[in-house]
Structure 1
């Protein structure tokens, strides 16, 4: 034990000397402001309180929209203005297209080989091309339109079951949205449902749900060892590494079984036009594997599937929950959205995805929600591959970049009364420099390729829920809008519950779906 303690102190001394020498070398360079007092070894880690995006926003408010901080051994560039973000993600986009090597990327990212964690290069570009062309193309998204409609209709049936439209009933909105988006994704990926009715294998469904929950809990844990490697060298983070290894084993095992099931059925070999229309994403990936088995290994396919699940489920369900929270607290906005749907669609049929482009106010509501509560308040970290100039300052090679989307989208210098929910402000926002005032899906080469799918899922689900039901708060008090502090996503601190009943004018349509 004494040897371990001595080794730890020697490591700290070595790191302190190393950092001092690096600081002396960098002192002559034109670096951005360094923020508050930087302590030896730990740097600015002592300042951080959850949620991190608010802490960084406060520091930026005092020291400027471009600052250099020290997260232990890592140099971090924190950006909180549209112009500087644009410079990083356009002019210097290729330089900042890399990812830092963090523990979660090693284990849950298959040793940095899946899309979110792969370094910028041929492998990453090929994976990005596959997702853009084979999974997120407008043609492919249209093929799965009926799947998404079917899942929302299934939800509508459950909400309207045995209901005459006379009394309100309480609904756990958080669980409802999470289950809906997970069914969305798994039906498109593998043609399987894991929640609600028509679940073919209840035991496997239960196992899948446990894996998904564990992924969000373990995968969202902050790891100080990523910034203080000496702590990892003395074994202080072995428990977290063990959890990540065990979780990845469960995820891989489950997805491998899914692949083997598809191989046995052989659906990926179908050739008729009608059969091609029903191909799942897994079928598409297995078809690519047949053509290039050395590249499209099972591990690559599993990595793509897990990326789709983790990126698509949490962000879409969280956006729906925040949107309904804001609508419940602003019933006039809810009524206005209902009126738009009634005047555009009428009450003789339900909304289809093709109708969404004709519902601009609905999308103003969604965009305003994404502005106030972006699912990724900090863009996933980038890392500079070479020295560059940002905002007139020199940014050294190997600097981690954090773009504080929350700070930009809630900046009173950019938005009038930013903490007020005003969907009307979103009319005409977008394009040009406005794109960096509002970028909940990121931007540049590492921007989210699933933006179109996410907006379709969220728009269809919310549109139909608004069209078919009356909604109100559980009590007289406003719905709590406190933010959660677990993980890096911007979740609600308290899960949303709401009361609903079918609108009297929609009872006939609801009885027919």
Structure 2
């Protein structure tokens, strides 16, 4: 995986153009085009803007430093309020970090802020904006989004895939038990635990579930080439990481030709490598269908459903194969990244708050017991487990800034004029830490969701907690992610006693991309606590 700091390209900007005649020309053009003709705009009540913006670069230099982008914007919100304006190069943006304003944007102005900006990642990795999650608002986005919501992510379809979640979770639990049994000889006795890297285990499990739903095959396991599986995973991680970068060519289009930092080159290379995998999967499906023409033998998985649906060879200029590949790939990457990230941070928080872990274990003992395995029908009774997930999503929303939006028509937000073409960032990280809503907002307290905040959900209707977004662009996979997360965590904690190595706290260092990920491995000690026949 490539290693690129979020704003490392800014150092290259400074060193390559500062003080040169070229930058003076750009500054002159900037003032002429963006400031000289904006006299009429000065009469409008615009959101507050931090001082110190540079010509051409805007506030980019102010956002450099040790803090991640969303943390830097959170610090600015402390000074400038819940809505303020920044300039990212030549792109204007507003940053909102208040639940009332998030509600206003997701209801009153939902249509006005329903689009996505044009970015290099969406062009190269998103099949030239065919990837619906990053498509501009319009008929194409509506058609594909509606189809995905009905055919893959509706509650009916999520429930129909229940056997996949259950079988893959059971298989992953068996894998852990086998690992413990095989390594037991190295310990003094089998009562000792074994050390497992849980990030990889969680990633493999969630990827297998999503792969089977979308492509009808497993990503990893005894019947899959391990090198091939890891290749998929490396490409998917790079794909996700590149979508989270702020690229100079996006913010200052005049400099795109320089490809400062080499990001566009990496995007093009990753796109070719990724498309090769998608072509292979699509060919497998088309070849299989040629030999199984009966109506009862098709539509095994979502890619098959897409093949059946795309009877027209062209939708908004995209051919059927491009739509299929782009739609399946974004569902795959987003589904795995979001669910894995959510599970990893939740497990980390429990390991660092043993009292909460003990409560989850006690709840499992009461409602499941030690004589059988966890079933999905048990989840509604596991109230504290559900509260743990909500609190984890409050503190660690998978995408702390969501995905950037673009305003497509002028609107007035909280009394401030916001012009069409402005980008919008919803700072969920800051919004979820509002002390007026959450007492002791920096503390991990799941109990709040069974007492003071018991009626707050995460599905985009309670704007105090919107880890998956809200409005038209809300994540369509919420139901799948939550069902998967609940089942996996409940099964893991019911099947094994889990402890930290040397009783040390888990390292909570983050890394940044399109999702907020744990920077270091998650090595924990597991010990089975059920009878051996329940792992068979």
Give TM-score, length-normalised by structure 2. 0.89
What is the CA-CA distance between 1:303 and the residue it aligns to? 0.6
* Partners of 1:268 and 1:283 within 8 A in 2: no
* Partners of 1:185 and 1:312 within 8 A in 2: yes
In structure 2, the partner of 1:135 is 152
- 2:390 maps to 1:367: yes
Q: 1: distance between equivalents of 2:378 and 2:494?
A: 13
What is the CA-CA distance between 1:20 and the residue it aligns to? 1.8
In structure 1, the partner of 2:103 is 86
What is the CA-CA distance between 1:413 and the residue it aligns to? 2.3
Q: 1: distance between equivalents of 2:320 and 2:143?
A: 14
In structure 2, the partner of 1:159 is 176
What is the CA-CA distance between 1:23 and the residue it aligns to? 4.3
What is the CA-CA distance between 1:502 and the residue it aligns to? 0.5
**Deviation sequence 1:104-130 (CA, Å, 0-9, x none):** 111111222221211111110001111
* Partners of 2:460 and 2:474 within 8 A in 1: no
In structure 1, the partner of 2:264 is 241
- 2:241 maps to 1:220: no
- 2:256 maps to 1:232: yes
**Deviation sequence 1:224-269 (CA, Å, 0-9, x none):** 2211223224x24383212111211111121111111111111875
What is the CA-CA distance between 1:338 and the residue it aligns to? 1.5
In structure 1, the partner of 2:43 is 28
Q: 1: distance between equivalents of 2:391 and 2:455?
A: 10
In structure 1, the partner of 2:59 is 44
Q: 2: distance between equivalents of 1:294 and 1:384?
A: 28
**Deviation sequence 1:58-113 (CA, Å, 0-9, x none):** 10111110111111111111001000111111100000001111111111112222
Q: 2: distance between equivalents of 1:22 and 1:181?
A: 52
What is the CA-CA distance between 1:459 and the residue it aligns to? 0.9
What is the CA-CA distance between 1:183 and the residue it aligns to? 1.2
In structure 1, the partner of 2:403 is 380
SS of structure 1 residue aligned to 2:86: strand
Q: 1:105 aligns with which of 118, 122, 127?
A: 122
Q: 1: distance between equivalents of 2:102 and 2:168?
A: 37
SS of structure 2 residue aligned to 1:401: strand
Pairwise mapping of residues 165-184 of structure 1 onto structure 2 (< 5 A)?
A: 166-184=191-209
My pick for the range that moved more, 369-378 or 292-301, is 292-301
- 2:312 maps to 1:292: yes
In structure 1, the partner of 2:5 is none
Q: 1: distance between equivalents of 2:306 and 2:80?
A: 48
> CA-atom RMSD, angstroms?
2.3
In structure 2, the partner of 1:307 is 330
**Deviation sequence 1:137-190 (CA, Å, 0-9, x none):** 222212211111111111111111153751111111111111111111111111
Q: 2: distance between equivalents of 1:320 and 1:241?
A: 32
Change (3 A) 1:370 1:268: farther
- 2:460 maps to 1:460: no
SS of structure 1 residue aligned to 2:498: strand
What is the CA-CA distance between 1:507 and the residue it aligns to? 3.0
* Partners of 1:268 and 1:279 within 8 A in 2: no
In structure 1, the partner of 2:212 is 187
What is the CA-CA distance between 1:443 and the residue it aligns to? 0.3
What is the CA-CA distance between 1:331 and the residue it aligns to? 1.6
SS of structure 2 residue aligned to 1:116: helix
What is the CA-CA distance between 1:203 and the residue it aligns to? 5.5
Q: 2: distance between equivalents of 1:88 and 1:38?
A: 26
Pairwise mapping of residues 2-81 of structure 1 onto structure 2 (< 5 A)?
A: 6-7=21-22, 9-48=24-63, 49=65, 50-81=67-98
Change (3 A) 1:373 1:22: farther
What is the CA-CA distance between 1:208 and the residue it aligns to? 2.2
- 2:534 maps to 1:501: no
In structure 2, the partner of 1:430 is 456
My pick for the range that moved more, 97-106 or 239-248, is 239-248
SS of structure 2 residue aligned to 1:78: strand
In structure 2, the partner of 1:321 is 344
Change (3 A) 1:65 1:22: farther
* Number of positions where the alignment pairs a residue of Structure 1 with one of Structure 2: 502
* Partners of 1:470 and 1:501 within 8 A in 2: yes
Q: 2: distance between equivalents of 1:40 and 1:263?
A: 53
SS of structure 1 residue aligned to 2:95: strand
* Partners of 1:225 and 1:237 within 8 A in 2: yes
Where do 5+ consecutive residues of structure 1 fail to align?
Answer: none
Q: 2:295 aligns with which of 262, 271, 274?
A: 271
What is the CA-CA distance between 1:6 and the residue it aligns to? 4.7
Q: 1:389 aligns with which of 387, 408, 412?
A: 412
What is the CA-CA distance between 1:355 and the residue it aligns to? 2.3
SS of structure 2 residue aligned to 1:501: strand
Q: 1: distance between equivalents of 2:364 and 2:266?
A: 47
- 2:285 maps to 1:258: no
Where do 5+ consecutive residues of structure 2 fail to align?
Answer: 1-15, 185-189
Q: 2:132 aligns with which of 112, 115, 130?
A: 115
SS of structure 2 residue aligned to 1:475: helix
Pairwise mapping of residues 393-472 of structure 1 onto structure 2 (< 5 A)?
A: 393-427=416-450, 428-430=454-456, 435-472=462-499
Q: 1: distance between equivalents of 2:40 and 2:522?
A: 52
